[in-house]
Structures are given as C-alpha cells and as structure tokens.
Amino acid sequence: MINSIKYSFIIPIYNEEETISEMYRRIDGVTDQLDDSLEIILVDDGSQDQSLKMIRDLHQHDQRICYLSFARNFGHQIAVTAGLNFARGKIIIILDADLQDPPELIPNMIEKWRQGYQIVYAKRTRRRQESWLKRLTAYGFYRILTKLSDINIPTDTGDFCLMDRQVVQQLNAMPERNRYIRGLRSWVGFKQTAIYFERDPRFAGEVKYTFRKSLALAIGSIIAFSRVPLRLATYLGLFSAGLALVMVVLVLYWRLFTPAPQLIGYSMITMAIFFLGAVQLICIGILGEYIGRIYEEVKGRPLYTLQETGGFTTDHPD
Ligand code: UDP
Ligand code: MG
C-alpha cells in the first residue's frame, strides 16, 4: 500500500481556524500541478477552536485529506512527528499551516529531489514583518546552536522541507522524545541541499509559538545536540580554583611582607560565599536539565495521544 502514494504533505495545526481555508486553497493550487497520487495529512494539535471541525469538513470534501487529532496540545514538533509516523508517501513535505512557508516552492523542492537529493530544506533569507525581538533571538539562537553542537545544523532553517521516504524511516526509528526535527534531520545525514526563500508574514491569526514555547524549544535543542553546557561546570570550577589560588598568594604576601596584617573582612568572605554558591547552583541547574531529559526518556510514555483519525486505512502504515 505504501508505494501507491507518491507525495505526503504534513501540516501541523493548532487553533488555525482563520488560516485553514486559505491554506487549503493555496495547497490545492500546487497539488494541481502534481500528477501523482498524494495525501495531505492535517495534524490537529489539540486545537480549542473550530479547526478540528473544519478539518473534518475538508476530509469529507476531499478524499486526499487525512487527519490526526491529538487529545491535547503536545506541541509543534510532536505534531510533525505524528505526521511522519503516519505518512505513506515516497516524498514527504512538511509545512506550517499559516502560509509562512509558501507552498508554491514545493515544485522547486521536488525538482531537487529528482536531481538526487534526499533532503531539501528551505532556508530563510529574510523574515517579513516579524518583530525585531523574534528576529534577533532567532538569529542569535541558530548561531549559538551551531557553535555548541557537533553536527552541522544549517542556520535559519525551519521545519519546512522535503524528505525522501528513506530519511523519514530513519526519523521514525528514533525513539527519543526530544524531537527537534531540524536537528534530527541534519543528524541523519543523506544528500541534503537548501533552497532559499523570503519568509512571508503569517496569513492570519496570532503566533502559536509563544515566547515560552520558543524558549523551551531552544533549550531542548541545545541539550539534545550539545554536551558543552555540562563542561561549563568544569570551567567554572577551574576558574574558582584559580581565584582561590590568587587569594592564597595575596593573603600570604600581606602576612609576610606588610607590617600590619590586612584584614580581608566580612564583605570579602560573604562575596566569596555568594560567588561559589552561584557557581554551584548554576552547575546543578545545568545537570538538572540533562537529568530531567533522561527522566523523560526513561518513563517511555507515548509521544502523543490520539483522540480521532480520519482517512487512514490502518492505524500505523509502517
Ligand atoms: N503549532 C502546533 N502546535 C503548537 C504551536 C504551533 O501545531 O503548540 C503549529 C501552528 O499551527 C503552525 C506551526 O505550528 O502551523 C507554526 O506555528 P507558528 O506559526 O505560530 O510559529 P512560527 O511561525 O513563529 O514558527
Ligand atoms: Mg508561523
């Protein structure tokens, strides 16, 4: 059955009632140009608005539309993961529902696939109408991540991409819960290439990635792809040891070579205690982040819970 579908589109949806119709119209415009069979997988990430109802209606009206609906909000990366688990196509394309990732680029991506690339990701050259804070934090984050991680995660790329079935099978076989798809996509290797685009503003509605969600994604991705923060404890420890040594030399000098021994004083001692306390707390905090992730992995809970599906003949295609 798997081979009868050529293209799978995966679109995560969280409270997107204002964008769904337009998104469908734009996707439909692109799929018209593709003559092979395809499926459009809409993943409802526990929306509280009319999104699920609209998705059901689309499914009724267009047989190519399949959907998954989560029993609560699990987050964008998990929604994409679920889509990947269920996708049956030879070529899998991930894009956002808010039309910031223009579907019209998909034929170019497919062209690259024909040239032999198994992963084609879209790289933003500009973000139109996004706040300077978002642009600045995103700019900084991608560069820090690249510096800290051993693998080469391309900067300024989102989840908008095309992947060959072979790649998706690898991603599906990864048991980890911390699913920073962009990172995993680089980690697997294969022949990868970029296409460039200017990111459009959101078509309608509010941004669903709140500051908290973005921060959690950023911290999670650094922890999943780098052990450098753990080494920070060693560096801070060495730094404080050096500082202590300087103090010893100073105290000895005062004692031996100055007539009246200098008092270091309470303020100095208090400062030293606070400094060391801070260093230790920071290190425990970093350790805690890693241990927390280990705990999450060990529990081995499913990545998501489904309350409804539509259009899939079997529960799991693979
Ligand atoms: N999204 C999701 N679950 C969430 C948050 C977002 O499925 O908890 C979806 C959202 O509907 C959209 C995509 O992820 O299709 C990207 O979200 P958004 O446009 O708000 O973020 P940004 O453009 O800032 O990355
Ligand atoms: Mg968006």
| Residue 1 banded pLDDT, cuts 50, 70, 90 | very low
User: Is the pLDDT higher at 253 or at 164?
Assistant: 164
Structure tokens at 202: 């959101």
> pLDDT at residue 85 above 70?
yes
Of 98, 207, 208, 215, the residue with max ligand 1 atoms within 8 A of its CB, to mutate for a pocket test, comes to 208
Give the pLDDT mean for 212-218. 84
Give the pLDDT mean for 219-247. 85
What sign for the dihedral angle of Cα 147, 153, 155, 159?
negative
Of 11, 14, 95, 136, the residue with max ligand 1 atoms within 8 A of its CB, to mutate for a pocket test, comes to 14
Nearest residue to 4 (alpha-carbon basis) of 165, 131, 203: 165
Q: What is the per-residue pLDDT for 199? A: 81
Ligand 1 proximity of 312 Cβ (cutoff 6 Å) = no
Whose C-alpha lies nearest to ligand 1, atom 21? 209
DSSP codes of every residue in 77-139: HHHHHHHHHH---SEEEE--TTSSS-GGGHHHHHHHHHTT-SEEEEEEEEETT--HHHHHHHH
How many CA atoms are closer than 13 Å to the CA of 8, on its beta-carbon side? 30
Condensed to tens digits (0 to 9), the pLDDT of residues 5-28 reads 889 999 999 999 999 999 999 999
Atom of ligand 1 nearest to the CA of 96: 15
> pLDDT at residue 245 above 50?
yes
Distances (CA, A) of 152 to 134, 185, 187, 189: 23, 10, 8, 10
> How far, in Å, is the centroid of ligand 1 from the Cα of 80?
10
Nearest residue to 96 (alpha-carbon basis) of 19, 5, 173: 19
Residue 195 pairs in a beta bridge with 122
Atom of ligand 1 nearest to the CA of 207: 20
Atom of ligand 1 nearest to the CA of 79: 7
Ligand nearest to the CA of 181: 1
Structure tokens at 184: 């995993």
Distances (CA, A) of 173 to 93, 106, 168, 248, 293: 18, 26, 8, 56, 19
Instruction: Give the percent of the chain with pLDDT over 90.
Output: 42
Condensed to tens digits (0 to 9), the pLDDT of residues 246-256 reads 888 887 887 78
| Residue 306 banded pLDDT, cuts 50, 70, 90 | very high
Whose C-alpha lies nearest to ligand 1, atom 16? 96
> How far, in Å, is the centroid of ligand 2 from the Cα of 159?
11
Condensed to tens digits (0 to 9), the pLDDT of residues 112-157 reads 999 999 999 998 887 666 778 878 888 888 888 888 888 888 888 8
> pLDDT at residue 102 above 70?
yes
Give the pLDDT mean for 303-312. 92
Give the pLDDT mean for 64-81. 95
Ligand 1 proximity of 254 Cβ (cutoff 6 Å) = no
Q: What is the per-residue pLDDT for 2? A: 46
The pTM of the full predicted model, rounded to 2 decimals, is: 0.80
Nearest residue to 82 (alpha-carbon basis) of 20, 13, 133: 13
Q: What is the per-residue pLDDT for 296? A: 87
Whose C-alpha lies nearest to ligand 1, atom 20? 208
Mean pLDDT across the chain, nearest whole number? Answer: 87
Please give the Cα distance from 289 to 194 (Å, whole number). 32
Consecutive H or E run containing 142:
helix 132-148
> How far, in Å, is the centroid of ligand 2 from the Cα of 29?
20
Q: What is the per-residue pLDDT for 40? A: 94
Residue 155 pairs in a beta bridge with none
Q: Is 120 left (phi over 0), alpha (psi -120 to 50) or beta?
A: beta
Structure tokens at 235: 């560096």
Give the pLDDT mean for 201-213. 80
DSSP code at position 59: H
| Residue 110 banded pLDDT, cuts 50, 70, 90 | very high
Atom of ligand 1 nearest to the CA of 80: 7
